[in-house]
Structure 1
Amino acid sequence: MYKPSYGYFIILIFLALGVTACSLSDINTYNNEKTATAKAKQESTGYYPEKRTDKAKNVVSTDPKPLQEEDFEISYRSHKIDKITDIKELIHKLGYGEGYDSSNRGFISGNGAYRRWNLSYPNYVDPEIRFVVLSKIELEGEELVDGESYLVAVSLESPKFKTKRGLKIGDTLGKVLQLYGKPSIVTNGSLLYSKNGLHLRILWDTKKENVYNVTVDYNMEKSIKQQRSADYVEEDAQPDPNLEPYTIQEGQSFITSLNGWGKVRFVSTLKDEGTNDLIQAKFFLEVNNDKYVEKKILYEFPEFYGNNGRMIDRIKAVSFKDLNQDGRTDIVIIADYITGVNAHGIETHPVAGIYFQKKDNTYTTLSELDKNINQTGHNRTLQNIIQYVSKQRINVQ
């Protein structure tokens, strides 16, 4: 098992800042019959006001041409940048950028075998563009140097540069949709477009409603696999669920006492958007200990009702309460799922699910009850759910 790598977290931080884009697998073109957005819209039709449902259905008014591989090319100083760009040739022509050495040679993350770093032009203080690179570390005499290197991703940091279709920093979300149409994946603050293993991630400011970063991912999956494979292993370490492939939602993870378990940590997670799968929720019980110990993960909860083909945007609320008066602690969860995207951002609706504790202290779900809670609209607040369930006769063995 792998010891958690600080480098991986740094990669995610750079992603949030617009330096890189994380995508680990090829995504098929957006399909109305198979995507979470379409499913969510179909399922929500009977549950919510018609006005909101119609808005979600009409997320894109234009029908741009399908993406081609050339749409992922970037031009910088008359140089075409694509997935086969030769990094050494690029450096030979453009140099390293002002401030390279003082910025720790562009270091992002690394281990004993690989170094992830960035080339920033014209400088590292106020860059116009960043190239994320993965290099194999080699020994030249007594000095460690960059060996075989390749382009991982390129990040546009200035409105001076446009994508192949003309998108630039500062453009509106409406223009994004006009140029590219429906995205492969939508999250709160980003859109992802994909074609043949190439990925275009567009980040927008949810308050100003404009684009603040455009990143093209060429070889992110390959780079993460290579870098992670070189991380050293500690036999008694257990993988934390935020690494493969879940990210802990700290605001909805709690230390609590549960029947039969004692004092534990209830952990809410979402599947990392970098996996390019549906972002769905998963819940765990962990040993109440900050250190990595054997069997840190004590229990994995059953599938959350709110997943069910939907793209989860966030875990909204968690409550620990004996709902059916059997002396055991049940768990109520509310999440928001994405129904679509328009020129102002994403459309979301709440979805709730309940875990009932059984006599053996494990947990189960009652799918019909969960379905009724959501169909009748008793899913908006914890109080709504608790009041609704208190009127039901529930017996869990």
Structure 2
Amino acid sequence: MHKPSYCYFIMLIFLVLGVTACSLSDINTYNNEKTATAKVKQESMGYYPDKRTDKVKNIVSADPKPLQEEDFEISYQLHKIDKKTDIKELIYKWGYGEGYDSSNRGYISGNGTYRRWNLSYPNYENPEIRFVVLSKIELEGEELVDGESYLVAVSLENSKLKTKRGLKIGDTLGKVLQLYGQPSIITNGSLLYSKNGLHLRILWDTKSEKVNNISIEYNMEKSIKQQRSADYVDEDAQPDPDLEPFTIQEGQSFTTILSGWGKVRFVSTLKDEEKNNLIQAKFFLEVNNQKYVDNKILYEFPEFYGNNGRMIDKIKAVSFKDLNQDGRTDIVIIADYITGVNAHGIETLPVTGIYFQKKDNTYITLPELVKNINQTGHNRTLQNVIQYVGKQRIDVN
């Protein structure tokens, strides 16, 4: 009978250990992937447990260190740029940049008291970097000159320059998330990271999914308050001061006839994201008669259900219909809200809100009904909502 040699036993031990190690590695990899997948799925699926599973693989799992003020610094030609940067010192070192005079002295906008302008280096035609500046206009003899000036923002214009964490133009959206994590504010094509009044704004191309601009805002809010200029008012913007913080969504604003109101304009708006932590939806009725233009706002609707701790991406659909057969006009609204961002862009889910008209022609919401509509997934289309509500017994008197 053949007796196995010591070499045979040694080889057998190595083989067993190798298989065991591979098996443990596979198990750990599977468990880690399973845990990460479950976490991402839980965070992104919202009301639909199986809706987002196909995108799980595209989510970038990153846990970068929290933002610090130093993350909003950059370096250009060995010079540190931050919120305390002295504009006159930059001009002393580098001049005004080639093409300054032919580019209308870098003019962006002005109002007689302040002028907003930019310094572009090394030139204005093909810059590497732009500095946005706000200057107080002063009279020196008979000539208007820039007086007290400060840095508003800086924009990186090509891939030669990087942020403090190494991000540059041309990098992927996935790399943004790996370096900075989830942003403070997400819109389609824009990510915003904020800390103590400093803002890192990253613009990306929604087709190529790559960064095409990086800007850092140091004193943007201050500059907007100081410069009250017609350059910042859209010609078609709502003139009523009550709507100043909101942007009208023209595609979802309609002239219609409502019971008890007659011919009015229903106005959908989103609150300006630069002035608020969350983008929120708000709805109004306006007089549809130029004779009464001085009193345009007739009615402000109650809080939209979709605002509840969410960031609204857009108003998706509006319907005017008598939902409970009481002879009055109810209003259904569907919006998209942002659930997160992955390597391919923002992720959204629909959310519905309903306004029921009362006998006195004002409107109320029924939170429990709307909550059920959203939780059961009957909020994807106007038809879904209308069919669901039609089966309920609703009395708002």
What TM-score does the superposition give when structure 2 sets the normalisation length? 0.83
Cα drift, residue 240 of structure 1:
5.9
Alignment of structure 1 residues 55-204 onto 2, 5 Å? 59-204=59-204
Q: State the partner residue of 1:316.
A: 316
SS at match of 2:152: strand
Alignment of structure 1 residues 167-246 onto 2, 5 Å? 167-228=167-228, 238-239=240-241, 241=243, 243-244=244-245, 246=246
Cα drift, residue 41 of structure 1:
6.2
Q: State the partner residue of 2:352.
A: 352
1:394 aligned to 2:382?
no
Q: State the partner residue of 1:375.
A: 375
Q: Distance in 1 between matches of 2:386 and 2:320?
A: 11
Aligned amino acid, residue 131 of structure 1 = F
Q: State the partner residue of 1:293.
A: 293
- Deviation per residue, 1:128-179 (Å, 9 max, x gap): 2111111111112222211100000001111111111110001001100111
- 1:174/1:342 contact within 8 Å kept: yes
Q: Distance in 2 between matches of 1:292 and 1:84?
A: 49
- 2:373/2:388 contact within 8 Å kept: yes
Cα drift, residue 375 of structure 1:
1.1
Cα drift, residue 256 of structure 1:
1.4
Q: Distance in 2 between matches of 1:264 and 1:144?
A: 48
Task: Report which of the two has the higher share of helix.
Answer: 2
Q: State the partner residue of 1:264.
A: 264
Q: Distance in 2 between matches of 1:265 and 1:383?
A: 23
- 2:72/2:82 contact within 8 Å kept: yes
Identity of aligned residues (%): 84
Q: 1:238 to 1:178 in 2, by over 3 A?
A: same
Q: Could you say which structure has the larger radius of gyration?
A: 2
Q: Distance in 1 between matches of 2:43 and 2:178?
A: 24
SS at match of 1:337: strand
SS at match of 2:373: helix
Which structure would you say has the larger RCO, counting Cα contacts within 8 Å and 6 or more residues apart?
1
- 1:238/1:293 contact within 8 Å kept: no
- Deviation per residue, 1:44-80 (Å, 9 max, x gap): 55x2034627967995412222222111111112221
After TM superposition, the structure 1 stretch with the greater mean CA deviation from structure 2, 251-260 or 336-345, is: 251-260
CA RMSD of aligned residues (A): 2.5
- Flag structure 2 segments of 5+ consecutive residues without an equivalent: 1-38, 232-238
What TM-score does the superposition give when structure 1 sets the normalisation length? 0.83
Q: Distance in 2 between matches of 1:288 and 1:129?
A: 47
Q: Distance in 2 between matches of 1:157 and 1:42?
A: 34
- Deviation per residue, 1:332-357 (Å, 9 max, x gap): 10001111111111111100011111
Q: 1:290 to 1:176 in 2, by over 3 A?
A: farther
Q: Distance in 2 between matches of 1:196 and 1:239?
A: 28
Cα drift, residue 294 of structure 1:
1.9
Q: Distance in 2 between matches of 1:290 and 1:127?
A: 47
Q: Distance in 1 between matches of 2:172 and 2:152?
A: 27
Q: Distance in 2 between matches of 1:118 and 1:292?
A: 42
- 1:56/1:341 contact within 8 Å kept: no
Q: Distance in 2 between matches of 1:320 and 1:126?
A: 51
Aligned amino acid, residue 239 of structure 1 = P
SS at match of 1:393: coil
The number of equivalent residue pairs is: 351
- 2:44/2:340 contact within 8 Å kept: no
- Flag structure 1 segments of 5+ consecutive residues without an equivalent: 1-37, 232-236
